[in-house]
């Protein structure tokens, strides 16, 4: 084994390999003895393709180019297609219209009003009608409602739910009735929702998720009324536990449970999958999404710290797993994979926070005996989200080069119950920053990392966390990917879904304008203590480029070294292979220049603007 400085280890996990023949998997559906799912393909400029698989066959694309099944309702989308029998209904990205796709035919338009977008569809059991969420952009005004559309096509959808700011998950019962979720500003769906039209559950302090009808026409849903998202049947808890059976509904169409024959229910909760009322299934995965019944078996998108996400089919009787489609066609040598361990650490206010810690790992290299590895602190966006145990090669990109990574679940993260999630109420930019700083200091004090060479990175909401943490004098470098720099600008210049989100995280606008100003990184630009690299998509509607430009101007005034890279055609979250590769290489180059190591990769050095 070769001894090389940390950060300089050669690795087979290159920036190019992160996107080569790789896809993102989502939206798994089961219909007519087949599975359908979405593959988001960087090699096709992020086109989202619907793929079909039936036992005994190979997966095949059912959505022809140039169509892309992607909706922009709430901007984040999700729930872009549904299936009835072997007929697919989908929202097309380019025009946001709703199409019908029959086997052997070309997509046919069934709904497409000017300014309208569609998401989260469900087809009535007899196949005659489809219900979905509609979002209409009428100049500066945005209206959301629930509509019903004949599956044969209609120029005028029928409105069945209106009057609330937001809707989600309209679902037909066996008797043709419909239930859906609704909520109003300033709440987000993980704060409080109601189950309508009969208001059978929910309220301002109860988050309902995933309503659906069982084969015997009983209404089921997930609620956090006890402080944990648990599963209910007609209001009765099915498996009460201090465990989460759902996550925050940032996107439409999430599915964490489904109905198997014989009245059984399969569900996923806190790293497990199994039949309600039975022991969890012993399968080699720790992360599950898009759980679906597939005959008497279970289909899901599953992953683990050493296995990339894959569409799998599980036999609940034997726990035997059949892998249908992997997100990556080749697996990385396990010797280059870092397995995370959960750490709990003390933080401000006598609280305890949580994180996943990834030590450096490389089968061919080790660090010098008297040297400790650099640390990259990362945290999820949202900020209401959660660190995942699924294999993420962008994390392994760092660890296989000799850098440690800690993925922080700061106070406010989901996955630990409502009380932990509420720790961020009115405290965004405080609690999250405290916890990221505490995680770094905890690892440095324990002798696991070099406290003089710690970097912090974040995207979107965690970009704000990153920028504020860089004022604490703890970190030697930072990276912000389309990060929030000006909270006041975000409060007045963002999309409808999150336009009142900050009321809960910071305070009501404009009454709390002083708090917004104090929590904005741009206010503290002259207090930044470390070089910074900034990445920004020029088509971003969630965090507009103006946020990055204001920050760059402040960095120039403050005389702090920085690099600034922009990308035409990219929105909130980078999608194309070229952009993803460039971002990874530029960030590595930046850390090497600032933290004092020479990357083994043959990459273009990123230019750093210095005073």
State both tokens at 231: 């599963």
Percent of the chain having pLDDT more than 70?
A: 100
CB-CB contact of 135 with 144 (8 Å): yes
Rg (CA), the chain: 24
Q: At a CB cut-off of 8 Å and minimum separation 6, what does 300 contact?
A: 28, 268, 273, 288, 289, 290, 291, 292, 311, 312, 314
H/E stretch holding 590 reads: helix 577-595
CA distance 277 to 239: 7
**CATH dotted code for 17-326:** 2.130.10.120
- Predicted pLDDT at 163: 97
H/E stretch holding 518 reads: helix 513-519
CA distance 208 to 322: 32
Nearest Cα to Cα of residue 599 among 1, 7, 5, 3: 7
One-letter-per-residue 3-state SS of 277-343 = CCCCCCCCCCEEEEEEEECCEEEEEEEECCEEEEEEEEECCCCEEEEEEECCCCCCCHHHCCCCEEE
303-350 pLDDT, tens digit per residue, is: 999 999 999 999 999 999 999 999 988 788 999 999 999 999 999 999
The domain defined by 332-595 carries CATH number 3.40.50.1370: no
CA distance 114 to 136: 8
Decide the pairing of beta strands 47-53 and 60-61: antiparallel
Nearest Cα to Cα of residue 118 among 79, 83, 155: 79
- Domain layout of the chain by residue ranges: 17-326, 332-595
CA distance 6 to 393: 18
Tokens 């698989």 identify what position? 53
Judge whether residue 563 has pLDDT over 80: yes
Mean pLDDT of the 28-32 span? 97
Decide the pairing of beta strands 265-269 and 257-259: antiparallel
- Predicted pLDDT at 179: 97
- Predicted pLDDT at 155: 66
DSSP characters over 425-469: TTTTTTHHHHHHHHHHHHHHHTTSS-TTSEEEEEETHHHHHHHHH
Check if 17-326 and 332-595 are the same fold.
Answer: no
How many helices (H) and strands (E) are present in the chain, helices listed first? 9, 37
Mean pLDDT of the 78-88 span? 98
CB-CB contact of 169 with 256 (8 Å): no
Mean pLDDT of the 394-423 span? 98
Largest Cα–Cα separation, the chain: 72
- Predicted pLDDT at 544: 87
Judge whether residue 467 has pLDDT over 90: yes
CB-CB contact of 567 with 535 (8 Å): yes
- Predicted pLDDT at 451: 98
Judge whether residue 21 has pLDDT over 80: no
CA distance 328 to 20: 8
- Predicted pLDDT at 340: 97
3-class secondary structure, 223: strand
């Amino acid at each position: 084994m070769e001894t090389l400085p940390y950060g300089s280890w050669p690795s087979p996990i290159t920036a190019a390999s992160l996107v080569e023949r790789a896809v993102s998997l989502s939206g798994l559906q089961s219909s007519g003895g087949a599975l359908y799912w979405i593959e988001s393909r960087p090699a096709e400029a992020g086109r989202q393709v619907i793929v079909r698989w039936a036992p005994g066959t190979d997966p095949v694309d059912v959505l022809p180019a140039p169509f892309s099944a992607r909706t922009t309702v709430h901007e984040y989308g999700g729930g872009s297609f549904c299936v009835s029998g072997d007929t697919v209904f989908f929202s097309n990205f380019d025009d946001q219209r709703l199409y019908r796709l029959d086997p052997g035919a070309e997509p046919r338009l069934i709904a497409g009003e000017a300014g309208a977008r569609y998401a989260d569809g469900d087809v009535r059991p007899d196949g005659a009608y489809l219900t979905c969420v509609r979002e209409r952009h009428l100049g500066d005004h945005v209206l959301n409602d629930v509509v019903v559309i004949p599956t044969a096509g209609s120029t005028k959808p029928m409105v069945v739910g209106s009057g609330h700011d937001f809707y989600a998950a309209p679902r037909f019962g066996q008797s043709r009735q419909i239930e859906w979720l609704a909520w109003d500003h300033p709440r987000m769906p993980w704060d409080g929702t109601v189950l309508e039209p009969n208001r059978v559950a929910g309220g301002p302090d109860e988050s309902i998720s995933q309503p659906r009808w069982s084969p015997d026409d009983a209404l089921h849903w997930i609620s956090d009324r006890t402080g944990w998202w648990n599963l209910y049947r007609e209001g009765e808890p099915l498996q009460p536990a201090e465990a989460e059976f759902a996550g925050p509904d940032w996107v439409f169409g999430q599915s964490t449970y489904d109905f198997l024959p014989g009245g059984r229910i399969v569900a996923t909760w806190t790293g497990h999958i199994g039949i309600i009322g039975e022991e969890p299934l012993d399968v080699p995965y720790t992360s599950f999404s898009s759980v679906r019944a597939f005959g008497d078996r279970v289909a899901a998108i599953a992953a683990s710290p050493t296995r990339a996400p894959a569409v799998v089919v599980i036999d609940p009787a034997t726990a035997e797993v059949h892998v249908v489609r992997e997100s990556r066609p080749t697996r990385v040598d396990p010797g280059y994979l870092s397995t995370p361990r959960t750490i709990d650490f003390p933080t401000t206010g006598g609280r305890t926070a949580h994180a996943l810690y990834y030590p450096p790992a490389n089968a061919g290299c080790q660090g010098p005996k008297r040297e400790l590895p650099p640390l990259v602190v990362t945290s999820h966006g949202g900020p209401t989200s959660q660190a995942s145990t699924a294999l993420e090669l962008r994390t392994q990109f760092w660890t296989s080069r000799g850098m440690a990574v800690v993925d922080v679940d700061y106070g406010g993260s989901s996955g630990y119950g409502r009380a932990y999630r509420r720790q961020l109420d009115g405290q965004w930019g405080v609690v999250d920053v405290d916890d990221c700083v505490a995680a770094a200091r905890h690892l440095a004090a324990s002798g696991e990392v070099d406290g003089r060479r710690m970097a912090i990175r974040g995207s979107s909401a965690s970009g704000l966390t990153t920028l504020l943490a860089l004022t604490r004098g703890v970190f030697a470098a930072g990276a912000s990917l389309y990060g929030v720099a000006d909270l006041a600008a975000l409060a007045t210049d963002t999309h409808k879904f999150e336009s009142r989100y900050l009321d809960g995280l910071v305070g009501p606008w404009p009454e709390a304008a002083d708090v917004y100003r104090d929590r904005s990184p741009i206010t503290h630009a002259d207090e930044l203590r470390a070089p910074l690299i900034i990445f920004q998509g020029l088509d971003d509607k969630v965090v507009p480029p103006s946020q990055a430009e204001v920050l760059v101007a402040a960095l120039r005034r403050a005389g702090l070294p920085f690099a600034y890279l922009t990308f035409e055609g990219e929105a909130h979250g980078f999608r194309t292979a070229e952009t993803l590769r460039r971002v990874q290489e530029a960030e590595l180059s930046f850390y090497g220049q600032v933290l004092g190591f020479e990357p083994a990769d043959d990459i273009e050095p990123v230019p750093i603007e210095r005073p």
